[in-house]
């Protein structure tokens, strides 16, 4: 199963210090395997159900998991612009690209607010 191999590779990267936080999305059927493996290695994690058939698994440094738990949103599309930016940085995405993404989201949301005000 390809998803299992990807999951194990993410664990390897975390254990080698290449990542501080991992986001792994998979079918809900992997839930038991994911929990067992992360618990076996004592890797902090939090799991959110996404729709009916998928789960988002965040795992990594305890401080990163604590931030994810504070945000406490299962649906990534409901993240605020700032939460999205923080998540991208914690996942190790390119800082420059995250800055551009943040500004694009802020501009888009500003335009939506202005349009909404004009319609009222």
CATH of domain 2-119: 3.30.2190.10
pLDDT in tens, 52-69: 999 999 999 999 999 999
Model pLDDT, residue 24: 97
Q: What is the mean pLDDT of residues 30-42?
A: 97
Q: Locate 20 and state its tokens.
A: 């501080």
Model pLDDT, residue 114: 76
Report yes or no: 59 and 39 within 8 Å, Cβ to Cβ: no
CA distances from 109 to 6, 14, 62 (A): 34, 34, 32
For the chain, which residues make up each domain, given as ranges? 2-119
Query: What span, in angstroms and rounded, lies between the C-alpha atoms of 46 and 40?
Result: 15
Averaged pLDDT score across all residues of the chain: 94
Query: What span, in angstroms and rounded, lies between the C-alpha atoms of 14 and 108?
Result: 34
pTM, 2 dp = 0.88
């Amino acid at each position: 199963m390809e998803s299992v191999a990807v999951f194990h590779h993410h664990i390897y990267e975390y254990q080698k210090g290449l990542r501080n936080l991992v986001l792994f999305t998979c079918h809900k059927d992997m839930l038991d395997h994911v929990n067992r493996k992360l618990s076996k290695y004592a890797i902090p994690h939090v799991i959110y159900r996404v729709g009916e058939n998928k789960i988002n698994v965040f795992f990594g440094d305890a401080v990163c998991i604590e931030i994810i738990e504070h945000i406490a949103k299962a649906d990534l599309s409901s993240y605020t612009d700032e939460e999205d930016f923080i998540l991208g940085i914690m996942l190790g995405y390119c800082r420059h690209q995250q800055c551009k993404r943040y500004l694009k989201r802020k501009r888009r949301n500003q335009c939506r607010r202005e349009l909404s005000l004009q319609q009222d």
